[in-house]
Structures are given as structure tokens and as C-alpha cells.
Structure 1
Amino acid sequence: MLATVTCAAEPAAAKAPIVHPDKRITFSLKAPEARSVAVAGGDGLGSGPFQMTKDANGIWSVTTPPAVPGFHYYWFVVDGLQVNDPTSDTFFGYGKPTGGLEVPEQGADYYAIKDVPHGEVREKTYFSKSTGAWRRALVYTPAEYDKNSKARYPVLYLQHGAGENETGWTRQGRAQFILDNLIAAGKARPMIVVMERGYATPATPDIRQENVQAAFSAFEKIVVDDLIPTIDASYRTLADRDHRAMAGLSMGGMQTFFIASHHLDKFAYLANLSGPIIRNADLSHFSEISMDGPFDTKTAYGGMFSDPAAFNKRVRLLWVGVGTAEPEMFRTSIGGAVKALKSAGVQLVYFESDGTAHEWQTWRRSLNDLAPRLFR
């Protein structure tokens, strides 16, 4: 019989995770009929899954070693079945609603809610002629947006990673607060930020099982033919390439370079946050994408970097970043490409997030470094 997981009204029966001052985390779950329970999650939680023990009241618990600061997805494995914590909010990650928690980083307040003017995150529903379906984008407008009806703003198109959706940058990444704080301090120019779902189909695909070329091409058509015209028609944008940027994390970084390589007439600012940088042009299947070996600046991305002088003149910012604790695939592909691009004379900004993995703290830090460099 499947174990019953209950969430009792009394706080003692089922507590949300407790993050201790030393960053150890105590998880608990009431599942009296379960035979085994463990907790697992993102890279920053450590080397789990962590096996839990049951007390006389049927409450399973475990305290993990100190976690890396930042946002972490997590879930319980109850008798082999993955379930969310009934005491936790869920966030869209791993292709489905998934539990999450925050481990504070000492001294890091750039993504905190502060007593500064706050922008708004709006929902923009629009019809995509490319797919024949309705879509939703989340749009951040700066605090001053509604106060001056004559002002127009540059636009950053900011994409999430694989298994996530358009809510990732505001719910997990806290992008709106990062922008609020930077703009209030005069460090970043007031801008509109557009966050769309990076898939052309209703289902969330597994990029490792997809024809990546077809998937990215379909999303490219949405961005260029549907999304940009919709945003320019609906908001007070500065609707030219010199005031338009595209950036993304992981899969979103791959999409940024893929789309930009065909549309440098649309974007003057490009940023890749932990997105694997490919060596070859074959995107038919993820497993066939080459991220090893030398990066050929002449042929990669349709020759986008083949004339460094022309690229530098046309692209006002090329920004690339990675966490130092990310898996080798990311560090190797990104680091090798950065070295080759710099050697060829391509101007770029390279950013490393010290000690963080392929998780949201890397990308929060990345956005905090990137945003002040845009539209200058």
C-alpha cells in the first residue's frame, strides 16, 4: 500500500524546512505508514539524497550538512515515489511544480526587498501567429514607468533554463528586486524586462530528448515575429536594436546565442549565463552537440564571430558568465570559448560566480553584474 503523507494543522506535525545559522537544513515530513523517506534536491543541497529517520509520532526528519547559499529545489522520496513537501511553496522547475527553499547568503542584500521604489511584474497575454495559440509573457516595468507617460525604455529579453518557465526569473531569481535595487541606486538604467516561456509547444520538453535545432528555431520565430512586435506595440519601448538586449541562463543562454546569430539586426547586447557554448553547427540532438575541443571562432554560430572587428562594432556588449562550482561540461565549454574569443579579438565581459553551482545564486549574481552594463 502506498504510504500516506499528511499535513496536519499543528505546526509540530509537519514543519517547513528549518535553515540553521550554519546553513544546515532540517527537513521533516509526517508519513507514518512509509517504509523509507529521503530528501533530495538541487546541487547546492550537497551530495544527497539524505535518508530520514522516523520518530514515534510518524514524523521523518534529517538535518543535512551546510548548504550553498541561495535558492534550492527539493523533494521527498517516499517509498520510491517523488513527492513535494506539503508545507512548502512550489516553483516551476524540473518540468513541474517543485518545492523550494532559500538559504540566506551573509552580506548579500542585492536581491532583498528594500525600501526603494518598486517596479511591477505584469502579465501580457498575446496571440502567437507562429503557433496559432495564446501565450503569456511576464513583463517587468520600472518604478517610474507609470509616472511619466512620455518616457520610453530599453528592453531586456531574459530567458529561463530548461525545465523552468517564464516565472523562474521573478520567483526563483528575484530579478524584479535586483533591478529595483540597482535602478534606485543609480547603478542600472531603468529598463523593461520581458520573460517568456522558452518552448514553442504547450508541453515542457526535455532538451536532452529534443531536436534542439527545431525547438530553438520554433522559439526563435516566436521571439522575432510575435513577441518583440507585441512588446513594442504594448509598452513604451525604445524599439531599435541599440536599445534591445537578449540574455538567458543555461538553455536560455544557448537560445540567446542561437537567435542572435541570425538576428544581430535586432539585438545590440547579448549575455549568456551558464549556457553551454557549442563547437559545431549540428543541433539535431542534444547528445550530438559538441562542447569539447577547440572553439572555432570562424564557423561557430553561423560565423557570428568570424569578423571580430565587425562584431565588436555592431555588438555593444557580449557578456558571458559561469559559476566556479558548476559541472565541468559548463565550465569547460564556456571557459574554452571565452579564451578563443578573446584570442581572436572579440571584446567581451567574463564573469565568474565564486563557489556556486548550476543554480539560481549563480544567475542572481550574474544579473546583478550584467544589468548595470546594459544600455550604457
Structure 2
Amino acid sequence: MKRSFGLAFALFVCTFTFAQQALWGGTSIVSPEIHENNTVTFRLKAPKAVKVQVTGDFLPTQKIKTPFGDFDGPGAADLIEKDGTWEYTTPQPLKPELYSYTFLVDGLKMNDPNNVYMIRDVVSVTNVFIIGGGRADLYKVNKVPHGTVSRVWYNSPTLGMDRRLTVYTPAGYETSGKNYPVFYLLHGMGGDEEAWIALGRTAQILDNLIAQGKAKPMIVVMTNGNASQEAAPGESSLGFVSPNMQLPKTMEGSFEMAFPDVVKFIDKNYRTIKRKQARAIAGLSMGGFHSMHISKQFPDMFNYVGLFSAAIMPDNNVKSPVYADLEGKLKAQFAQNPALYWIAIGKTDFLYKANEDFRKLMDDKGYKYMYYETDEGHIWKNWRIYLTEFSPLLFK
């Protein structure tokens, strides 16, 4: 009897151990390993590989040519192999920041199998890690009151479809009974209503800034700026379609003209302060383009406007009343004295010249705005910075 029990117990232990290995991957490799001095070690077990590299935004940037211009892209560093495990340690401590990376194994891109934390940026899926300290602590989940993030469907009569929003409500919204100002936050080309919440760390940033008393409690609405889409790839009736940078109806006026549908839905379904003084709009790249043109198309709607690395004008072939009479619409907008018009861009951004020309127009007309310039280019590192700088200026 004892022997049978012992055999059964041994079988159970073997089965349980196998299940645990299947569940947890059966590996003891730590990657990335963040050391006390903020150097970081990356490891990959690949005994048959010939060459392994790590590429990420913690490495010196390199220029990548695309149909949309020259972008700053991450460099690459070689890992050294020992007993089938490849390893690379950054030669210098990394500055506080949210970083992304992937491996290149004999030229084939792959994610780190020892790091479960990943983010999608259009068609790229990368691993991520955070070096804490300074501004990067705003990107962390800290022990502060937390807001709620919801995925909400609304009907757009203008576009003739149901569409999805991501909505952040601040801590205490559900029980306070108060009405709140609303910040509409727009993504860039190829992005969707998931971009700011995942890559931009919006919920973490707002939770932390509000808890520190640096930002007013506010509702943040993150839209899908692709007017032909119901929702992010994989989240609509189209199923698991591939993300695409070249979507129709993005920068030809449809999204701008349909934006009042969003505002009406939010004002009807959330406890908002329903006036211009309590509304802000901002966005990155294409979202900055949308923010600029929506705010001048509807000058009674927004009192705070933010252009983050914004595209300024559409392609010459685009004909829409939204983009007509730029100077006349800006004149009408600034005649109402917006509380804040905020322009930010990186020194090496491919849109720097367009923003410089736009600021010259603003200067020539005597329109008041705030300007914020950073290093580097058209990257999420800058857009997170801009969000942390812009949000505390709202609704004062």
C-alpha cells in the first residue's frame, strides 16, 4: 500500500513538475537584467545561432529612410556567446526611461522569450522595460489612487458606423458625483485608440500627476483617427487584420468633420463640464495635424490645443474644405483667445521645418503660443515627455 502510494506520489510530482515547466517555460535565464548601477544585461539561449544582436531605443540612433521621410531608428549591438547563451551588457548606465528592444538572430527579428512584457506599435511588437527615476517614475504604476480605463463604443452618424474609444476617468470618478474637464488625446499615423494608453503610458502619467497635485483630475478620451476603421486591428468586425500605415480617410478631412460626434457622445454619457473652457485637444504627428485642424474648424469647441511633432498641412493633392483658408480660420480661432496653444517638437524630427514655418506664420500674425523643444526626433520618448509637460497646464 505504502509502495503504491509512493509510486503515485512520485508520478504526481513528475506530472506537476512537467506542467510547471510547460507553464513557466522551464528557463532560468534573466533578460533583461537591470543592475543596481542601471546598466542592463540582455541574454538569449540560441546554441545554433551564428550572430545575435539586440536592437533598441537605448542604443545610438540611426537614420531610416521611409516614404514618409527620414526617421530616427534604433541601432544594434552584438551579443557574445558562451556555452550556447548569448549576452550583452550596456557599457554605460541607462538614463531613466521606458525602453523597447528586440533581438536579431542571424538577421531574423525575434522577441525576447524571457521577457513577457511587450507593446505593439503599428506593425512592430517589441519587448519593454523601465529604468526608474526622474520623469520615468511617472510611467510606472505607483502606490497612488488609480483611474479607470474603458474601451467604449459610440455611434458616429457622420461616418455611418459604430466606432471605439479608449476613455480614462480619474480616480474617484465613479463615486464623486463631480463634473470633469475633458482632454481629447489623438494618435499618429498607423496608430489607433490603443496607442496612447499602451505606448504613451497615459493612465500611469495621469494617475501620478493628479496624485502629486500637478494636474487637475480630468477625463482623457483617446480616439481612433482612422476614419475608415471601427477600431484597432483585431478589435473590430474585420477580425485579425494586419495593421497598416496606409489606411484611407486619415488626413483628408473625414475625421475632422466627424469629431463633434465624439464630443457629443462624451458629453452625453460622462459627467463633463460642457463648455469650451473645460475642453482640450492634442495629438502626436497625424494626431497633432488633426488637433490643429479640428480646433480651427470648430473654434468654439476647445480652449487648449497641443501639437506634438505635428504634421501641419495635407498633401497638395488633398482637397477638403477643412484645410481651406488656413489663415482665415486661425484668425477666427485666435480672436477668441484660446487659453493655451502649445507646440512641441524634437530638434531632429523630420517635421521640424514644417513646424518652424508654422511658428513663423503664428509669429507674423501675433498669435500667442508656447513652444517646447526637445532633443532627438519623431519618437515615443518625446511624446511621453510632451504629455507630462502639457497635461499640468490644462484647466487652470
Aligned to 1:290: none
Residue 389 (structure 2) pairs with residue 374 (structure 1) = no
Residue 58 (structure 2) pairs with residue 32 (structure 1) = no
Residue 313 (structure 2) pairs with residue 282 (structure 1) = no
Q: Secondary structure at the match of 2:358?
A: helix
Counterpart amino acid of 1:205? N
- CA drift at 1:217: 2.7
Q: What do the CA deviations read for 1:305-348 (whole angstroms, capped 9, x no partner)?
A: 44766433322221111234xx3423333234224412321110
2: CA distance between counterparts of 1:307 and 1:284? 18
Aligned to 1:119: 147
* 8 A contact 1:24–1:64 mirrored in 2: yes
**Alignment RMSD, CA only?**
3.1
Structure 1 residues 268 and 63 mapped into 2: Cα distance closer, same or farther (>3 Å)?
same
Q: What do the CA deviations read for 1:129-151 (whole angstroms, capped 9, x no partner)?
A: 455554321111122312222x2
Runs of 4+ in 1 over 6 A off after TM superposition: none
Residue 381 (structure 2) pairs with residue 343 (structure 1) = no
1: CA distance between counterparts of 2:51 and 2:365? 56
Q: How many residues are paired up?
A: 344
Counterpart amino acid of 1:270? V
Aligned to 1:364: 384
- CA drift at 1:95: 2.5
- CA drift at 1:25: 3.1
Counterpart amino acid of 2:32? P
Residue 167 (structure 2) pairs with residue 139 (structure 1) = yes
Q: 1:183 aligns with which of 210, 223, 228?
A: 210
Q: Greater shift after overlay, 310-319 or 105-114?
A: 105-114
* 8 A contact 1:247–1:270 mirrored in 2: yes
Aligned to 2:223: 196
Structure 1 residues 181 and 216 mapped into 2: Cα distance closer, same or farther (>3 Å)?
farther
Q: Greater shift after overlay, 264-273 or 163-172?
A: 163-172
* 8 A contact 2:306–2:341 mirrored in 1: yes
Aligned to 1:164: 191
2: CA distance between counterparts of 1:86 and 1:197? 31
1: CA distance between counterparts of 2:133 and 2:150? 28
Q: Gapped runs of 5+ residues in structure 2?
A: 1-23, 62-74, 234-242
Aligned to 1:60: 86
2: CA distance between counterparts of 1:134 and 1:97? 27
Counterpart amino acid of 2:343? V
* 8 A contact 2:251–2:286 mirrored in 1: no
Residue 331 (structure 2) pairs with residue 317 (structure 1) = no
- CA drift at 1:106: 4.2
* 8 A contact 1:92–1:165 mirrored in 2: no
- CA drift at 1:70: 1.8
Alignment map for 1:138-287 (pairs within 5 Å): 138-149=166-177, 151-202=178-229, 204-206=243-245, 209=246, 215-225=251-261, 227-278=262-313, 282=316, 284=318
- CA drift at 1:375: 2.2
> TM (normalized to structure 1)?
0.79
> TM (normalized to structure 2)?
0.75
Aligned to 2:69: none
2: CA distance between counterparts of 1:216 and 1:307? 17
2: CA distance between counterparts of 1:373 and 1:17? 36
Residue 27 (structure 2) pairs with residue 10 (structure 1) = yes
2: CA distance between counterparts of 1:145 and 1:268? 23
- CA drift at 1:108: 5.1
Q: What do the CA deviations read for 1:51-91 (whole angstroms, capped 9, x no partner)?
A: 323221x2222234545542233222223322222233121
Q: Secondary structure at the match of 1:34?
A: coil
* 8 A contact 1:261–1:302 mirrored in 2: no
* 8 A contact 1:214–1:284 mirrored in 2: no
Q: Gapped runs of 5+ residues in structure 1?
A: 1-6, 286-299
* 8 A contact 1:199–1:219 mirrored in 2: yes
- CA drift at 1:254: 1.8
Q: Secondary structure at the match of 1:176?
A: helix
